[in-house]
Amino acid sequence: MNKTNDISYSSWLDIPIDSDFPIQNLPYGIIKSDKGIRVASRLGNYAIDLLEMYELKYFSNIKGVSRELFSTDSLNNFISMGKEFWTIFRIRLFELFEESNTELRDNQNNREKVLISLKNLTVLLPVKVGDYTDFYSSIEHATNVGTMFRDPDNALLPNWRHLPVGYHGRSSSIIVSGTPVHRPKGQIKHDNEENPIFSESRLLDFELEVAFITGKENEFGNAVPIDETDDYIFGLVLFNDLSARDIQKWEYVPLGPFLSKSFGSVISPWIVTMDALEPFKTKGPNQEPAVLPYLKTTGDKNYDINLEVYIQPELKDAHKVCSSNYKYMYWNMNQQLAHQTINGCNIRIGDMYGSGTISGTTP
């Protein structure tokens, strides 16, 4: 870890003590304000206008930096610069906002140019998602679903402990948090009826997930070795894979989800980098039986990230309905990406990979 993960450091910018966006985070996103659309970071309740900072020469010593990385409506160009660039840029951003650094702190005119209150902007989808895979990597969730949809005594299908099960989703309906979602319609087959009916979904469900965004491409036909997968993962977003369970139950055999999943998949607007998440690495569950060599990882590959879901009806208070943690994932990100490419499948910058619902070890 470097100083950007050291919690003893703080920023000269006033940040609420309970903020998820301290100086140790510095995620990336796309904002729209009266100055237009551009790449930004976030600190407390402010967006950091990275295009404005580039114009003011704060990044002039970073190799490869250009205006095109920031004057755009997606992070894809920025992400394409690679892992070494991501780390160097993050360190520079941290330095500029650390409380002892005077370069920006003591320049009131420049501060007003680069800091935008969240109240004065709109957050947009952070990346152009070329492809989207949704995995099914929580053993507790897979067991719960198998119990509901099939035989409780055989909840896990025979392949589940041997490979990261997944399906190819619909990237066009990935939307940023806050986008209105219409209730889906489709075929529904009730247990006591002979034939299906066409209806609006009556069993609309959330799925608490985390998704990772890829930042490097492999050539078509070339698998990504598992010990190189870290170089391909840029960061994480929260992911609510909305699901129409009544449509899903009828359509998912034999090929899996279709209309039940493609009507709106919601991600958070800020991508948290893997560099920022380094202190939260932790050991994952024991995998039995032992995985095949191409899926074998070394070291801590899971992440200790507390997760909660609240439901807030219109004009009423929010109510917490569940708590979980990303550390419970049976199949980790590295295994998911290695499996995705083992057949020679090529991945692209900005591709998204959902974890599947993250259930924990308790009800």
80-100: pLDDT as tens digits: 999 999 999 999 999 999 999
In this prediction the pTM is 0.96
The average pLDDT across 186-193 equals 95
- 150, pLDDT greater than 80: no
Say how far residue 87 (Cα) sits from the centre of its chain.
19
Q: Which amino acid is at 176?
A: V
Give the pair of three-digit tokens for residue 339: 């499996």
The average pLDDT across 307-328 equals 96
Catalytic residue selected from 141, 168, 182, 319: 141
Phi, then psi, of 137 in degrees rounded to 5: -105, 5
Model pLDDT, residue 2: 78
The shares of helix, strand and coil residues in the chain, as percent rounded to the nearest 5, are 25, 25, 50
- As to burial, measured by CB atoms within 10 angstroms (0-12 exposed, 13-18 middle, 19+ buried), residue 141 is buried
Q: How confident is the model at residue 1 (pLDDT cuts 50, 70, 90)?
A: low
Active-site residue flag, 168:
no
What residues pair up with 273 in beta bridges, in sequence order?
235
Give the pair of three-digit tokens for residue 206: 């959330």
Residue whose entry in the numeric block shows the structure tokens 């006591």: 192
Q: How confident is the model at residue 293 (pLDDT cuts 50, 70, 90)?
A: very high
Q: How confident is the model at residue 217 (pLDDT cuts 50, 70, 90)?
A: very high
Measure the CA–CA gap between 43 and 270, rounded to whole angstroms. Answer: 11
Q: Which residue has the higher pLDDT, 1 or 2?
A: 2
